[in-house]
């Protein structure tokens, strides 16, 4: 299966390890991963701030960059929701681009969605090197993908040595919201402090946060105000498990990290 990675600008700059974890994990599950280097940004910041003309230009660019991709996978829920919820609408009135947008949208997946709906992975043979407690924050833009946090939590729980403890007000926005965090920093502060308090109450060491922006916001608050946990992307957790199992499990005898997928994985 050929998969193109849309890494997103925030992940490119601030969380390259998440991008690498996605690449290596997809390869582990028998995907041929490529990274179209011409990619930049989906246009979400411009769109959300009302600059729809600029957003349209960037959307067209995205569609062109990924024109030859079978699947486009991104580790960011909000960028995926931007594409799925708004690209077709943005091209309205231009039938050619509307058609292109429709096809592009149909091939674009958020990472967890791709693992669970397309690859249908089974992580039960994987295990973290040591016991760890996790909690999960529902990043808002998953609403745009019409999904709950359950698929991700289910994946997480399949991995050995994982303990899960739910987060109070898990579905309440962390206060990122792109430029919102800067334009309305007072309100954003109250929101992220609430998230921090709820996170601290769980006793978890790590909070799953599958969006670059939310992770920066929550992580920054943890660092400033003494959070007892750190935000991490599910891709990093899964890769931790795969990597640690390399020597322990017979199925990872390969050299490149590209090995036979566990039972249940589609191809």
Contact positions vs another protein (CB under 8 A): 7, 9, 11-17, 19-20, 23, 35, 37-38, 40-41, 43, 45-52, 54-55, 57-58, 61, 85, 140-141, 143-144, 169, 171-173, 175-178, 180-192, 194, 216-217, 219-221, 223-225, 255-256
Query: What are the tokens at 185?
Result: 């920093």
Q: What is the smallest separation between the CB atom of 88 and another protein, expressed in angstroms?
A: 13
Neighbours of 211 (CB within 10 A): 29
Nearer to another protein by C-beta: 52 or 163?
52
Please, what is the minimum distance in Å from the beta carbon of residue 246 to another protein?
15
Give the separation between CA 6 and CA 101, rounded to whole angstroms.
16
CB of 42 to another protein, least distance (A): 9
Residue 75 or 245 having the CB closest to another protein: 75
Instruction: Supply the minimum distance, in Å, between the C-beta of residue 78 and another protein.
Output: 9
Helices (H), 29-178: 44-48, 52-65, 77-90, 95-107, 111-113, 150-158
Per-residue tokens: 117: 């709906």
C-beta of 263: minimal distance to another protein in Å? Answer: 26
φ/ψ region of 10 (left if φ > 0, alpha if ψ in -120 to 50, else beta) reads: alpha
For residue 250, the 8-state DSSP code is G
Shortest spacing between CB 157 and another protein, in angstroms:
22
Q: DSSP letters along 203-235, please?
A: T-SEEE--SHHHHHHHHHHHHHHT-SSEEE-HH
205 and 229 in contact (C-beta within 8 Å)? yes
Question: Of 125 and 230, which has the nearer Cβ to another protein?
Answer: 230
């Amino acid at each position: 299966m050929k998969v193109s990675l849309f890494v997103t600008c925030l992940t490119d700059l601030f969380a390259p390890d998440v991008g690498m974890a996605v690449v290596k994990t997809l390869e582990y599950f028998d995907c041929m991963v490529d990274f179209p280097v011409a990619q930049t940004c989906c246009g979400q910041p411009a769109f959300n701030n009302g600059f729809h003309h600029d957003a349209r230009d960037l959307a067209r660019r995205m569609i062109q960059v990924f024109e030859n991709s079978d699947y486009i996978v991104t580790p960011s829920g909000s960028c995926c929701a931007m594409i799925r919820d708004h690209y077709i609408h943005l091209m309205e009135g231009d039938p050619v681009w509307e058609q292109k947008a429709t096809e592009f949208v149909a091939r674009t997946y958020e990472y967890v969605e791709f693992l669970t709906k397309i690859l249908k992975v089974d992580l039960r043979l994987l295990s973290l090197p040591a016991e760890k407690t996790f909690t999960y924050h529902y990043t808002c833009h998953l609403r745009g993908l019409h999904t709950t946090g359950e698929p991700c939590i289910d994946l997480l729980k399949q991995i050995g040595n994982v303990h899960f403890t739910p987060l109070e007000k898990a579905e309440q926005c962390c206060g990122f919201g792109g430029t919102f965090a800067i334009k309305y920093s007072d309100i954003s502060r109250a929101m992220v402090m609430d998230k921090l308090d709820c996170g601290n109450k769980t006793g978890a060491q790590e909070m799953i946060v599958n969006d670059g922006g939310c992770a920066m916001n929550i992580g920054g608050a943890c660092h400033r105000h003494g959070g007892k946990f750190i935000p991490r992307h599910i891709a990093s957790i899964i890769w931790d498990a795969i990597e640690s199992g390399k020597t322990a499990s017979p199925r990872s005898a390969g050299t490149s990290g590209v090995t036979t997928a566990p039972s249940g994985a589609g191809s």
